[in-house]
Amino acid sequence: MSNSKIFKKVDEDIAKYGWHVLSVACEDSPSFSYTVGFEQTLSHPEIIMSGLGTELMHHLLNDIGELIKNGSSFKNGDLSNEVVKGFPVKFIEVKDSALSEYLRVAKAHYDNKGFRALQCVWPDKDGVFQTASNQDQEVLGKCI
């Protein structure tokens, strides 16, 4: 799909739903998905996830969008059991350097005016939130 078609689809989805979810499948590192439009329509930071299947992340990001639309709000360091029932996730602030590298379509959409982003990270099987990237999940901020 050409860049112009991608940006057209992003704009159409934001107008229709309030946001767009973009997924990037990777072979050498964890795949990731993120929102474009939360900042514009919900006055909430964009959300990015990594390391799960892109279809699952797409679904979870839409669920997060619905939570925000219905009054929830997430900020750096927040834990939530609402995203995945009975399974906590943590929201961490995404470093500015990662915005350009990972959220390129969002960066272009906001025309480099600046936007906020949080990463929704999930714990390992022992319930520990990782503090650095590994083969399962990129960490784009500092887990606190």
User: What's the chain's Rg over C-alpha atoms?
Assistant: 14
H-helix or E-strand spanning residue 121: strand 117-121
28 backbone dihedrals φ, ψ, rounded to 5°: -95, -10
Task: Return the amino acid letter for 107.
Answer: K
Q: What is the pLDDT of residues 93-141, one digit of tens each?
A: 998 888 888 999 999 999 868 899 999 998 887 888 877 677 677 777 6
Task: Return the amino acid letter for 6.
Answer: I
Q: What is the pLDDT of residues 1-51, one digit of tens each?
A: 567 888 899 999 999 999 999 999 887 878 899 999 999 999 999 999 998
101: its two tokens? 């590298």
* Cα separation, 121 vs 109, whole angstroms: 24
